[in-house]
Amino acid sequence: MYRSNGNYEAFAKPMKPEGVDNKSAYIVGSGLAGLAAATFLIRDGQMKGEKIHVLEELALPGGSMDGIWNEQKGYIIRGGREMEPHFETLWDLFRSIPSLENPDVSVLDEFYWLNKKDPSFSHGRVIQEQGKELPTEGQLTLTPKAVKELIDLVMTPEKDLGDKKINEVFSEEFLNSNFWLYWSTMFAFEPWASAMEMRRYLMRFCHHIDSLSNLSSLRFTKYNQYESLIQPMIKFLEDKGVQFTYNTHVNNIKVDTSNGSKVATEIDMTTDGKDNTVALTEDDLVFVTNGSITESTTYGDKTHPAPTEHELGSSWELWENLAKQDKAFGNPDVFCKNIPEANWTISGTITLTDDEVMPYIEKISQKDPHSGSIVTSGPVSIKDSNWLYGYSISRQKHFKRQKDNEIVVWVYGLFSDKPGNFVNKKITECTGDELCEEWLYHIGVPVDKIKDIAENHANTIPAHMPYITSYFMPRKVEDRPLVVPEGSKNLAFIGNFAETERDTVFTTEYSVRTAMEAVYTLLNVDRGVPEVFGSAFDVRTLLRAIYYLDGKQKIEDIKLPFKERLVEKKVMEKVQGTYIEELLKDAHLL
């Protein structure tokens, strides 16, 4: 497997890999990574669909890419996916998946057209004091010390950040900035999260620094991610003959690690309560989705909180059993145990059943939720919320079956250890109605109307997700297994708990990238995997980032000590009339 850039290889079809007709594949997990692996096996590996077997513990596919109508509870979404133009492997994947609404075009085509017609732009990124705009909205409010801390982190080699937390490399000055408020609520970082992951995000998404406050860089699907992305993939794969087996717990995969190689020899699984064993040879490729952020999710309802007691979960147990066999298979305990109590664990789906709340939503977002246009363009964060509460309203209808009078709102709270500002409970203790009440309070609904609206004009379903931020647990480099561990002949790890360089977890891109790398490596596909977008290596992006990090100041306005000012003067004289001066002007630094 090798990486490439440019469209020379992006548009090329690889030759059929040698020996692929003698091979088969077993994919553990039908989330985005598993479905992407199956697609790449067929499209680029040219493996026959009927030789691909997808093993899923749930009764339906999709993993964390969900969105469902539950007859007993109502609409449920556990989160949304923020996407951007430089998800290179994601768009490489969806250019090949036909749209369900128009099979003559791809999912990428319809997604592209939709976001051209209805681009993302947030008119109310942060609010406080019951629906009021943040007075410093649009400003990053970084002090020189905080900017230096950002630069110092980026300049630190990844290997030197093992187990370090964000609040160990940043001071309170940084953590009190609008930059951190925008950044943490957009990407779901906690102060005690991994500094290593924070560094990767800074390098991966430095081209978004100028749009943090308006979210104009993001792209969104027409409906929820399950209907817009997962269902088209399932139809494509089923039409190709891929075999799906649901209600299947893969308990263990036995691996022969002798002689310096690693060969998966047996899959032990339980389907519908019946134990089964599949013997494997080197020609049987195994792709494992190790770990899951939505494993062991529990749900509440209008009058009951989501239970917080839970099992470890099948995906974690499988990873533990694999890790016992070889240290190269990673360290799952780092991610699934000793998670801070204060972490984000609760989200909720609020379905509004009439227009009682519409004026308050429109005042903040300056959008009519019934217009069909994307409403919040990502999260609206509530700065003075004890929970650091936030909400997002996507294009409506968010579900194809949604009624015209219904609006679906997703809410989440990053801090789970403090009582709310209106509801005097921790978010983990709240019923659906109470989650709704807290949201209504923060968007400015009069206090005397809140209880009636929550109880009689809305249906709110809480979801408890014990592992939702486990991607960001402080870790060492070796705690995640490589996509294809050294010496592996037929075993690969896919998804956000597998390790590939430079890219960032908690993204759809990471799921697809690991799947592509796994398939290309095990089948020796002779086509480059598109490299991670190199925004951190583009001098134009870096100059523009400097402009915004320094509060949109021009070079001559930045306060420097006397000696540095003299040096700056000499440098500016040298660049006058050169291409460097043009670059500085393009970045608004001159």
pLDDT tens across 412-421, in order?
A: 999 999 999 9
Distance CA 103, CA 116 (A): 20
3-state SS assignment for residue 298? strand
Distance CA 214, CA 17 (A): 45
Query: Do 491 and 418 reside in the same domain of the chain?
Result: no
Domain interval for residue 436: 112-130+340-464
What's the predicted TM-score (pTM) here? 0.95
pLDDT in tens, 22-39: 999 999 999 999 999 999
Does residue 269 lie within any of the structural domains?
yes
Which residue is catalytic, options 26, 56, 57, 82?
A: 82
Query: Do 126 and 256 reside in the same domain of the chain?
Result: no
The structural domain count of the chain equals 3
Sign of CA dihedral 515, 517, 519, 525: positive
Does residue 549 lie within any of the structural domains?
no
Does residue 272 lie within any of the structural domains?
yes
Q: What pLDDT score was predicted for residue 159?
A: 93
- Is the bond leading into 116 cis (omega within 30 degrees of zero)? no
Does residue 533 lie within any of the structural domains?
no
CATH number of the structural domain spanning residue 330: 3.50.50.60
Q: What pLDDT score was predicted for residue 453?
A: 98
Does residue 521 lie within any of the structural domains?
yes
Distance CA 11, CA 33 (A): 22
- Residue 501 is a catalytic residue: no
Query: Do 431 and 516 reside in the same domain of the chain?
Result: no
Residues with Cβ within 8 Å of 446's Cβ and at least 6 positions away in sequence, in order, are none
Tokens describing residue 212: 């943090």
* Cβ–Cβ < 8 Å for 290, 319: yes
What average pLDDT is seen over the chain?
95
Q: Which of 415, 439, 464 represents a domain boundary (last residue)? A: 464
Q: What is the dihedral of CA 267, 249, 37, 20, to 10 degrees?
A: 30
Query: Do 448 and 488 reside in the same domain of the chain?
Result: no
| Percent over 90 (pLDDT), the chain | 89
Q: Which residues pair with 390 in a beta bridge?
A: 381, 412
Does residue 374 lie within any of the structural domains?
yes
Does residue 41 lie within any of the structural domains?
yes
Strand pairing of 529-530 and 3-4? parallel
Q: What is the DSSP string of 18-79?
A: TTGGG-EEEEE--SHHHHHHHHHHHHTT---GGGEEEE-SSSSS-TTS--EEETTTEEE---
Q: What pLDDT score was predicted for residue 570?
A: 72
Query: Do 432 and 570 reside in the same domain of the chain?
Result: no
| Distance (Å) of CA 137 to CA 124, 178, 212, 256 | 8, 8, 10, 57
Query: Do 448 and 585 reside in the same domain of the chain?
Result: no
Query: Do 380 and 353 reside in the same domain of the chain?
Result: yes
- Residue 82 is a catalytic residue: yes
CATH number of the structural domain spanning residue 383: 3.30.9.80
Query: Do 84 and 49 reside in the same domain of the chain?
Result: yes
Sign of CA dihedral 240, 246, 248, 249: positive
Q: What is the DSSP string of 69-132?
A: EETTTEEE------B-TT-HHHHHHHTTSBPSS-TTSBHHHHHHHHHHHS----S-SEEETTTE
| DSSP class of 299 | E
Which residue is catalytic, options 26, 75, 201, 389?
A: 201
Q: What pLDDT score was predicted for residue 557?
A: 73
Query: Do 373 and 456 reside in the same domain of the chain?
Result: yes
Q: What pLDDT score was predicted for residue 80?
A: 86
Query: Do 432 and 422 reside in the same domain of the chain?
Result: yes
Query: Do 346 and 393 reside in the same domain of the chain?
Result: yes
Give the chain's residues under pLDDT 50: none
Query: Do 32 and 50 reside in the same domain of the chain?
Result: yes
Q: How many CA atoms lie within 13 A of 76 on its CB side?
A: 24
Does residue 565 lie within any of the structural domains?
yes
**Amino acid sitting at position 477:** V
